[in-house]
Amino acid sequence: MMKPTILLQTDFSLEWGAVASVKGVIKRVDPTLEVQDLCHYIRQFDPWEASLSLAAVEPFWPAGTVIVSVVDPGVGTARRSCAALLNDGTYVITPDNGTLTHLKHAVGIRSIRELDPKLRYDAGEEVSVFHGRDIYGYAAALLASGQMPFEEIGMEYPAEEVVECEEYHIRPVLEHLRAEGFIMTGLKHFGGVQFNITNEEWKNCGFTEGMTVQVTITHAGGTVFDRPVLYERSFGFVPEGEPILYCGSSRHLSLDLNCANLMERCGIGTGKGWQVNLSAG
């Protein structure tokens, strides 16, 4: 029987050996386990971005996959370490710090267990700041290899107690041909941003492809971006370097530049402090 793949997500980057150390522990437990990378450039210390990233990727992996997500500003503190079994059969091993927010609502949690404190890789030293290696990677390897069943990984607790990111509950303002929200996340490599407005919510406001939309982005009391933008299906409807508003594959309304980096060029960031106002031009 084929063993499930372990999928790794962290904010460690690949510029030093942290990710390799996690993979090493997994291979020590079972050299036959397949380990794949989801992303190691999640914004540092940001469970919200980690939650969004999991929600975007998890639906495309088969049941039984073991996802490890380590974005852990509370490492070494009393926050829970957990293993969640989702309704679609995927497992997620992570700090319970908001990382499970989107999956909890979009997929659902069948069962969640607090990792047994005794479940720890013996690294030959007493370290409280590398739980990705010593706890989460180790627990994932035991689970994926079949050496420890999910029911023995720790005590179960109610899914209602799962920590959620407050950003999830900030709802956009939606009116006819007008919407307000915030920049939910951005794809730093290409520079596009996504708003906390779903594609469906946007269309229900009456906007149709081909319309010009006035887009105003503010942050810390100042206006960062304020100009009319074409709303269309994809980047090629505007000249290179020009902005485009479109319904993204993230299922959220997105703003980008054609063949250029919006975040870098305009100094745009992400988070609830980055407000957007959209209205028919």
CATH of the domain at 220: 2.40.30.90
Boundary residue ending a domain (166, 185, 211): 166
> Do 20 and 158 belong to one domain?
yes
Q: Is residue 248 a part of any domain in this protein?
A: yes
Sign of the torsion formed by the C-alpha atoms of 151, 154, 157 and 159: negative
Can you give the pLDDT at residue 83?
98
CATH of the domain at 25: 3.40.50.10790
> Do 60 and 131 belong to one domain?
yes
- Report residue 168 as tokens: 């999830």
Can you give the pLDDT at residue 198?
97
Q: Which domain holds residue 49?
A: 6-166
Q: Predicted confidence band at 127 (pLDDT cuts at 50, 70, 90)? A: low
Q: Is residue 38 a part of any domain in this protein?
A: yes
> Do 151 and 214 belong to one domain?
no
Q: Predicted confidence band at 12 (pLDDT cuts at 50, 70, 90)? A: very high
- State mean pLDDT over 165-190: 96
Kindly tell me if the per-residue pLDDT of 165 is higher than 90: yes
Cα 65 to Cα 201: distance, rounded to the nearest angstrom: 31
Cα 233 to Cα 243: distance, rounded to the nearest angstrom: 13
Kindly tell me if the per-residue pLDDT of 256 is higher than 80: yes
Kindly tell me if the per-residue pLDDT of 128 is higher than 90: no
Q: Can you spell out the DSSP letters for 21-77?
A: HHHHHHHHH-TT--EEEEES-PPTT-HHHHHHHHHHHGGGS-TT-EEEEE--TTTTS
As beta bridge partners, residue 111 has 85
- State mean pLDDT over 227-253: 95
- State mean pLDDT over 52-81: 92
- Report residue 45 as tokens: 């210390």
Q: Is residue 244 within a helix (H) or strand (E), and if so which, with residue range?
A: strand 243-247
> Do 158 and 266 belong to one domain?
no
Can you give the pLDDT at residue 76?
72
Q: Is residue 22 a part of any domain in this protein?
A: yes
- State mean pLDDT over 124-137: 80
Q: Is residue 130 a part of any domain in this protein?
A: yes
> Do 114 and 198 belong to one domain?
no
Boundary residue ending a domain (166, 186, 205): 166
Average model confidence (pLDDT) across the chain: 95
- State mean pLDDT over 143-153: 97
> Do 57 and 183 belong to one domain?
no
> Do 250 and 178 belong to one domain?
yes
Q: Predicted confidence band at 101 (pLDDT cuts at 50, 70, 90)? A: very high
More confident residue, 61 or 78: 61
> Do 195 and 69 belong to one domain?
no
Boundary residue ending a domain (112, 133, 166): 166
- State mean pLDDT over 84-102: 98
> Do 146 and 184 belong to one domain?
no
Total tally of structural domains belonging to the chain = 2
> Do 175 and 70 belong to one domain?
no
Q: Is residue 1 a part of any domain in this protein?
A: no
* Exposure letters 156-189 (e unless 16+ CB within 10 A, then b): eeeeeebbbbebbeeebeeeeebbbbbbbbbbee
Can you give the pLDDT at residue 74?
76
> Do 23 and 157 belong to one domain?
yes
Please give the C-alpha separations between residue 230 and each of 142, 233, 242, in angstroms, as whole numbers.
Answer: 51, 10, 9
